[in-house]
Amino acid sequence: EKTEAVETLHAEIDQLEASIAKLTEEITELTKAVAELDAAMAEATKLRQEEKEKNTATIKDAQEAQTAVAQALTVLKEFYAKAGEATALLQQQPEMPEIFDSPYKGMQSENGGVVGMLEVIESDFARLEADTKAAEASAQKEYDTFMTDSKVDKEAKTKDIEHKTAKKQDEEQALTVKREDLEGTQKELDAALAYFDKLKPSCVDAGVSYEDRVARRKEEIESLQEALR
């Protein structure tokens, strides 16, 4: 019975030791994964902040440029409108110098070229603003999704670490108890075996002495019977 108990305790101890070793490895891997998640989130936040600042500055510059170009266009259009009116008035004079024999076209040509160029520039800045806003919104959405997923993953891993750590502590306590039980049971078994080994020769000697006593008693009875005849 004691031998069987010792064997059972040995098996239970081996099982606990294997489980504790596995839990220790899993906790180490999970802890490393959580640290990597923290580092990835910190890096993503840093890059997102830098990108956001850059996009914000680009959008501001594009808006200011559009305002400046719009103001320039207004001034130019007013200028060319007044110049056109002045040319028309000169052309209506009864006696015009030879230089005004034909309607003045120079300012109109210049008007179309400069205004057209400024309108293209204004359109380019408007497109830059729209593209940058779209890129910023997309990057922010991607960042938010990454952070949400990472936080959920971290929370799950952290809870797993807590669960496995608690289980490991319980098993370490159980292992301590099992080892104490094994030590006590082993001592009892060793004591029983020692007692048996010590008792064995005595039992053998006692058997021989009993036979001797039976033989001697038999002889005594026979002698007594002879004497009574």
pLDDT of the residue at 78: 85
pLDDT of the residue at 6: 82
Q: What distance in Å separates the CA atoms of residue 78 and residue 112, rounded to the nearest whole number?
A: 13
Token representation of residue 145 = 């999704």
> Identity (one letter) of the amino acid at 209?
S
Q: Are 25 and 168 in contact (CB under 8 A)?
A: no
pLDDT of the residue at 91: 56
Integer angstrom CA distances of residue 132 from 15, 34, 67, 145, 189: 61, 34, 17, 20, 82
Token representation of residue 119 = 């309108």
- For residue 69, the tally of other CB atoms under 10 A from its CB is 20
pLDDT of the residue at 53: 97
Mean pLDDT score of the chain, rounded to an integer? 83
- DSSP structure string for 122-189: HHHHHHHHHHHHHHHHHHHHHHHHHHHHHHHHHHHHHHHHHHHHHHHHHHHHHHHHHHHHHHHHHHHH
pLDDT of the residue at 201: 57
Instruction: Give 148-172 pLDDT, tens digit per residue.
Output: 999 999 999 999 999 999 999 999 9
pLDDT of the residue at 103: 46
pLDDT of the residue at 104: 45
What stretches in the chain show pLDDT beneath 50?
Answer: 96, 99-109, 228-229
pLDDT of the residue at 218: 72
Q: What distance in Å separates the CA atoms of residue 108 and residue 161, rounded to the nearest whole number?
A: 78
